[in-house]
Structure 1
């Protein structure tokens, strides 16, 4: 076994001949001045400015970054409907499965509110309430010979006015009230107007299957479904707006939450009492006078 002292570097003959033949040939030399020195604890930084800009742009697109522009431009309103099916279904799922500690706006909207889902939810709810109300009245009066079915198309107009007024006027009032209570500056945790409208629109989705099940002519079942729907949709609203109002005075915070719940209950109970009537008032028939009464009347004259 060779010892370390026996190890020697040997030059290759061909390389030595080439160097001796052409002394001016360029050679690769590495000097200490060409090697960058690193001090202790210093990291190696690479110039990835272009890649970082590309990543920032892609992240903005993934987060649903809306293009700029004033509210009078078409592009501004077009961006409010720029959502895909996956996003809408995810938000619908979040509106029917409220979980404690999960804020609907922060977990599902992610600063990307849309009006596509709330608009079609309200339109579908208008027709489902009106049509299901007519069917419920028809099923409850089956077998009644004095009842004649008459489609009540005016219920569609009434349902549209009530539902769209609730889905727009209530969020406007709530947003204005919260903005007034928190001051002119937008604080951490405050919601924008579009976010408030969006969460109210998605909270109404649970009433679509509920209104279809209201066609079953059982009073106890209809009221049970109302309570379940109000608890689910009301929980979405309370879990969303409580983190914003809890820093206010105790009376104002509790009053705001109670008002939200009462308005929600008023919508549900009002739709049940007006559109889903189990009994129909039929005008009583006028009694026909008997023969003795007619003779008495003639004698008096």
Structure 2
């Protein structure tokens, strides 16, 4: 274990992170995220995106619940286990899913892509949920759905178009790419559904 090894993945400045966030939110269908990160994928952005999402979703949604709480139902309580679940959900999705996809790409797809690049891609794909979480502070289900659906669409499009560029390098062609992309979209849909049902 060496800190110098990990230092390269946290060697970004504010401008780098801002450009990556902009690419993820403003132009999700461009499929140019690999060009944006170049040879410098970072874990700084993904780490803080997940931490921010845990904070916003744990406190924000409970705040909305507090606003609508009826005192006749008893005292309002905050369920701390939601924070633990959030850590597992957000960090698990942002780090374990791309690690699994990287393994499949390397071993079965014949694609030599970097693990750090996929981790970076998945971390920044979640950035669009930060403003959504802020909008979900309002105790209005219609507004929450209005915030959630476009966020899910933007995040899904960002992942789809960028992962498609990686999978296109597979020598196995469509026989590998089609089910692989189905798994990517399916996993993201499951994540979104879990996010909506448990947090929002």
Same fold (TM over 0.5): yes
Aligned pair partner of 2:66 in 126, 138, 144 = 138
Aligned pair partner of 1:157 in 68, 84, 99 = 84
SS at match of 2:72: coil
Aligned pair partner of 2:123 in 188, 197, 201 = 201
Q: Which runs of 4+ in 1 moved over 4 A?
A: none
Between the two proteins, the alignment pairs up a number of residues equal to 198
Tell me the equivalent position of 1:103. Answer: 32
2:109/2:176 contact within 8 Å kept: no
Give the C-alpha shift of residue 224 in structure 1: 2.5
Distance 1:205 1:99, change over 3 A: closer
Give the C-alpha shift of residue 204 in structure 1: 0.7
Distance 1:251 1:218, change over 3 A: farther
**1:123 is the counterpart of 2:51:** yes
**1:218 is the counterpart of 2:146:** no
Give the Cα separation in 2 of the matches to 1:253 and 1:89: 31
Q: Comparing both structures, which one devotes a greater share of its residues to helix?
A: 2
Tell me the equivalent position of 1:73. Answer: 2
State the structure with bigger RCO (CA 8 A, min sep 6), 1 or 2: 2
Q: Which runs of 5+ in 2 are unaligned?
A: none
Give the Cα separation in 2 of the matches to 1:206 and 1:230: 8
Give the Cα separation in 1 of the matches to 2:94 and 2:15: 23
The C-alpha deviation readout for 1:92-129, integer Å capped at 9, x for no partner, is: 111102254442112x1011111111111111111111
Give the C-alpha shift of residue 157 in structure 1: 1.0
Distance 1:104 1:220, change over 3 A: same
Alignment of 1:1-301 (within 5 A): 72-106=1-35, 108-141=36-69, 143=70, 145-183=72-110, 190-246=112-168, 247=170, 248-276=172-200
Give the Cα separation in 2 of the matches to 1:90 and 1:122: 18
Give the Cα separation in 1 of the matches to 2:93 and 2:19: 23
Structure number, greater radius of gyration: 1
Give the Cα separation in 1 of the matches to 2:64 and 2:196: 11
Give the Cα separation in 2 of the matches to 1:173 and 1:209: 28
Distance 1:74 1:144, change over 3 A: closer
The C-alpha deviation readout for 1:62-102, integer Å capped at 9, x for no partner, is: xxxxxxxxxx3221111211111111111111110225444
